[in-house]
Amino acid sequence: MTFTIFNGSPRYKKSNSQTLTEQFLKGYHNQGKTEPVKICYLARASQLAEHLEAFRQAEEVIIIFPLYTDCMPGMVKEFLELLPAAGNKNPKKLGFIVQSGFPEAIHSVYVERYLEKYARRRHYHYLGTVIKGGVESIRSMPPSMNKKLFKQFRELGDNFARTGQLPRELMQQMRTPLKMNAVGRTVFRVISLLGLPDMYWKKMLKKHGAYHLRSSRPYAP
């Protein structure tokens, strides 16, 4: 089976999608799978034709991307729109991993509906969508804090190598909390009043010289 992973993060190899893919592949190769897995980076827009060809040749495909404004980065949408529909004979296996900054999985449930419908309408063999929230924090956490998450991704890869499927039970565990409970919401309200959740993103804007653009409305009439 030719297995190809498409990374849909604009951050290319410095992305959380890359970190999670590496963990997935550790688990995958644990199962004695020696054939190399091709990884295509959609951020390399100039290689779009190669990416489309890699998709055509693959028998198993996983597309991993970050949730962007409750949906997907534009490059992922463009890629999906360019993919051909599968033939009826031996349809390609297609699965998705959507990972996001907010801890609540519910934010990704809407794009999941799209992905499922997309796969069905294009006659792919839909493997399901893994949803994982709270992922941006892995960049600032000490490795010990990421142990559980990385183990889950290794288990996904291990399972995929053994069965060719994404394990439902583990996927269900991973998409928690679906919504924060009352205590979580109260704590979040308090830290929001203190401006703590914004601090990280403001730091990023400053780092990239875009702080002065934070209230821009490029599509406003």
Ligand X SMILES: Cc1cc2nc3c(=O)[nH]c(=O)nc-3n(C[C@H](O)[C@H](O)[C@H](O)COP(=O)(O)O)c2cc1C
The contact set with ligand X (CB under 6 A) reads 9, 11, 15-17, 66-70, 99-102, 107, 135-136
Q: Around 83, how many Cα atoms within 13 Å sit in the side-chain half-sphere?
A: 26
Count of Cβ atoms closer than 10 Å to residue 213 Cβ: 10
Nearest-approach distance from CB 88 to ligand X, in angstroms: 34
CB of 76 or CB of 119, closer to ligand X: 76
Nearest C-alpha neighbor of 77 from the set 68, 85, 86: 68
Q: Which is nearer to ligand X, 120 or 214 (CB)?
A: 214
Minimum CB–partner distance for residue 1 and ligand X (Å): 25
> What DSSP letter does each residue of 164-212 carry, written as one string?
SS--HHHHHHHT--SS--HHHHHHHHHHHHTTHHHHHHHHHHHHTT-GG
Q: What's the closest the beta carbon of residue 136 comes to ligand X, in angstroms?
A: 3
Closer CB to ligand X, 135 or 166, in the complex: 135
Q: 60, 26 in Cβ contact below 8 A?
A: no
* Residue nearer to ligand X on the CB measure, 46 or 69: 69
> In the complex, what is the shortest distance from the CB of residue 8 to ligand X, in angstroms, rounded to a whole number?
8
